[in-house]
Amino acid sequence: MSTSVYDIPVKTIQGTDTTLNQYQGKVLLLVNVASKCGLTPQYEGLQKLYDDKKAEGLEILGFPSNDFLEQEPGSEKEIQEFCSLNYQVDFPLFAKIPVVGEAKHPLYATLTQAMPERIGEGPWWKDLVDYGLTPNEPPEVLWNFEKFLVNKQGEVVARFAPDITADDSRLLDAINAELAK
């Protein structure tokens, strides 16, 4: 059995060493986020989803990453201020981490190993190619705002492409199914 997502060391956006142990028994949506991406407005939908589902046991956890065209260049303090001022984000944010490649954080190594394929590969892939980029093949994270759904036991149960928004029925149905268990 691979390492539980609960046991992997992470840092809060304030720099405190922690793990995800405090979220045991909750449904988690882990998202690699960025402030200067075409998908950054997804923060708004993620915050609405958090507001709507937090009382039912959903936690959205944001992991800033600068892996994609350096679209998260800011410091943790700048990221936190940006999210708060522009999108009123109050779901937990963590310290900036690499989510792809050799330097990939152990959390993302565990997530991508547990769920190598994405749901909802949509037009975003083609958009990246049209921009002259070479998108990452699974199991690597494709881009900012890819979403991993973790059940109440800490198991990765679904993975959604970056262009699947927080109000997409595929994502909502999966979240609601896990919350109902």
Which residues are part of the catalytic machinery? 37
Q: Which tokens go with 135?
A: 């998108």
In contact, 87 and 43? CB cutoff 8 Å: yes
Cβ density class 17-33: b for 16+ within 10 Å, e for less: eeebeebeebbbbbbbb
Cβ density class 78-91: b for 16+ within 10 Å, e for less: ebbebbeeebebeb
From the list 2, 4, 8, 157, the residue with the least C-alpha distance to 94 is: 8
- CA distance linking residue 117 with residue 178, whole number of Å: 19
